[in-house]
Amino acid sequence: MQLILYSSFWCPDCREAKRFLDKHKIPYREIDIETTPGAADEVVRNTGKRSVPQFVIDGEWVQPYRVGKGFLYDEMAKRLGIAHR
């Protein structure tokens, strides 16, 4: 599985997404939309909005959080095939 995380340094949900991935030892490549030229445009082009974090799992764009609900632990664990506690 290939996972790319689009994130930003100021984003608390992005930090939570990284903690989740690191805790479960899921390798990922991080792209910071603030420091990578064209990255924010790529997010908008694929999601219709400029919001992070965004996962790209084997080419499929997935938003791992919901506004007002935070990171979707159970949904992401299921999607990534891991047990979440």
pLDDT tens, residue by residue, 20-31? 999 999 999 999
Cα separation, 47 vs 56, in Å, equals 11
- What DSSP designation does 60 have? E
pTM: 0.92
Q: Are 40 and 33 in contact (CB under 8 A)?
A: yes
Cα separation, 57 vs 24, in Å, equals 15
| Nearest of 80, 61, 71 to residue 12 by alpha carbon | 71
- What DSSP designation does 49 have? S
Can you give the pLDDT at residue 84? 61
Domains of the chain: 1-50 (3.40.30.10)
pLDDT in tens, 30-60: 999 999 999 999 999 999 998 999 999 999 9
